[in-house]
Amino acid sequence: RKALTLLLHQGDEMLLLSWVDGADGSEFPVQNLPFGVFSHTLSGRSPRVGVAIGESVLDMQALLAEGLIDHCACAAVFAEATLNAFMAQPRAQWLAVRAALTQLLARDGADPALRESAELRRRCLVPRAEVAMHLPAAIGDYTDFYSSREHATNVGVMFRGKDNALQPNWLHLPVGYHG
């Protein structure tokens, strides 16, 4: 386990191989594990967090139910239907989850539970071609910036009239607004 952890932190990630069919050489090898939200109608899975690996999606809710990520302090966030709770975690938790996933998915990973159990693989891995992807986060609001002089002038006309459309500070600092 220590050798794999050192490998991850030394920048030699390209040496890692996965036992997951189709992962090595794909867009989603063990070195690139993107999080998203998916559903799978055939198995009745409602929207939930997943991680792409090769031609599959690793169901984080299933990993949680099977106790395969219990050692991660923030594991409970994967019971949610969005990534908001996970994104709110400190970077150290993101790294811990990624390290745990690498241990599960790497050919020489220290956690063989998923690798050695066909039943666990059936419950935790879903063919990527069969899933529907969803907006991964609940967006509460946004901040926007005036991106051009024309944009700032047009908005200024609406709020302050033509004679006072562009505020003098616009030329010296970015102007943002909360939407």
Nearest to 105 by CA among 13, 11, 10: 13
Question: Which one-letter amino acid corresponds to residue 85?
Answer: A
Neighbours of 101 (CB within 10 A): 24
Buried b (16+ CB within 10 A) or exposed e, 137-146: eeeeeeeeeb
pLDDT of residue 7: 46
DSSP 3-state of 52:
strand
**Tens of pLDDT along 92-114?**
999 999 999 999 999 999 999 99
pLDDT of residue 142: 78
**Tens of pLDDT along 132-145?**
999 999 998 877 77
Residue 168's pLDDT band, with cuts at 50, 70 and 90, is confident
Buried b (16+ CB within 10 A) or exposed e, 35-59: bebbbbeeeebebbbbbbbbbbbbb
pLDDT of residue 172: 81
**Tens of pLDDT along 2-31?**
444 434 444 555 579 999 999 999 999 999
Question: Which one-letter amino acid corresponds to residue 160?
Answer: R
DSSP state letter for 110: S
Which residues participate in catalysis according to the annotation?
Answer: 151
pLDDT of residue 11: 53
Answer whether residue 167 shows pLDDT above 50.
yes
